[in-house]
Structure 1
Amino acid sequence: MSSEATGKSTLAVTSGLSRNAIIIRLEGELDVNALPILREHLQRIWDLPPKPFLILDLGEVSFCDSMGMNELVDIMHLCESRQTRLLLGGVQGVMARVLSITGLRHAFEVFALFDDALRMAVAHP
């Protein structure tokens, strides 16, 4: 049963640091019910000194609605205001389709594999 039906989030959010990037991994459904969890986690990230890169690992996202996409756009704008490059890694399946359908595929730096996004961040000091 989806989180839309239950009203409960099925999103897990974890994060870590690399040399010049903050990495946030999302697993589950990125929908209206997940936003409070994601925003709470991101607030702790925004409180840190900016890093050159923020990588969102979307490889385990199984669903994304319009509110989830709006949140990704908001994250992109916050990154721009902090002069942080937002990289979306693991963009396949659901997320690749949603980004393509919404026309937002070219608004983001998108990588099919998370490791490719991480390599991009590591290659740029």
Structure 2
Amino acid sequence: MSSEANRKPTLSVTSGLSRNAVILRLEGELDVNAVPVLREHLQRIWELPPQPFLILDLGQVAFCDSMGMNELLSVMQRCEARGTRLLLGGVHGVMARVLSITGLRHAFEVFARFDDALRLAVAAS
């Protein structure tokens, strides 16, 4: 096992509610070590009654590897199954590049500013 696999996650996740949206703010690195941290927070979300929107604030994500992207795709699929609209806010820098390079930029509803994603969700209520 590599030392990379033993490294502690460098991702913090906070959550909250705003009218008809659940908001998750991610800060740090969304990598193989951080996926369990994100899944733990998401498990609590999946146990709630479905909300019209789930907004992921990615503005403070400094790194994202293929496992992080795979988890975002899983979140999108789970949201679709629940009838929840997934919005990615704060997508710039690293996350904008990763979504572009992987060809997934148009698979998600992406907003450069978190506030724009939140505004859309609030307007829909």
TM-score grouping bracket, smaller chain normalisation: over 0.9
Are residues 42 and 111 of structure 1, via their aligned partners in 2, closer, same or farther at CA, if it must alter by over 3 Å? same
Q: CA deviation at 1:7?
A: 1.4
Q: CA deviation at 1:8?
A: 1.0
Establish whether residue 59 from structure 1 lines up as the match of residue 59 from structure 2. yes
Corresponding residue for residue 32 of structure 1: 32
Establish whether residue 117 from structure 1 lines up as the match of residue 117 from structure 2. yes
Corresponding residue for residue 93 of structure 2: 93
Structure 2: where are the runs of 5+ without partners? none
Are residues 4 and 91 of structure 1, via their aligned partners in 2, closer, same or farther at CA, if it must alter by over 3 Å? farther
Per the alignment, in what secondary structure is the counterpart of residue 67 of structure 1?
Answer: helix
Corresponding residue for residue 41 of structure 1: 41
Structure 1: where are the runs of 5+ without partners? none
Q: How many residues align?
A: 123
Cα displacement string for residues 29-54 of structure 1 (whole angstroms, at most 9, x for unaligned residues): 00000011110110000000010000
Aligned letter for 1:38? L
Write the mapping of 1:4-43 to structure 2, written as runs, cut at 5 A.
Answer: 4=4, 7-43=7-43
TM-score by length of 1: 0.96
Aligned letter for 1:94? V
Structure 1 segments, 4+ long, off by >3 Å, are: 3-6
Per the alignment, in what secondary structure is the counterpart of residue 98 of structure 1?
Answer: helix
TM-score by length of 2: 0.96
